Amino acid sequence: MRTIHLPAIDRRVSLAAYIAAVKLAKANPTATFSHGLTCWWPCTGDEIVRQFVAGLEERINQAVTYLQRGQEKSYTHE
């Protein structure tokens, strides 16, 4: 199962749950949610969508190969 880390709650959630939450926020841009994707305080749906786009751009710009996505970083050298 693919997961993604949410700094707002410091937990990993399934990718399916993450996408469902973003879709809910996008469908309700003026609704207030208990926390955002990157912050623990209440956010509107519009703010959550902006956080999603920023996170997407960050992951794209990291240039992590497909096989390494979702894995913990390893700092050991061979």
Give the Cα separation of 53 and 47 in Å (integer).
Answer: 10
Dihedral in degrees, nearest 10, Cα atoms 35, 39, 45, 46: 170
- pLDDT value, residue 71: 66
- Whole-prediction pTM: 0.71
Per the rule left: phi > 0, alpha: psi between -120 and 50, beta: everything else, 6 is beta
* Segment 26-57, tens digit of pLDDT: 999 999 999 998 888 999 999 999 999 998 88
Of 3, 10, 1, give the one whose Cα is nearest residue 72.
3
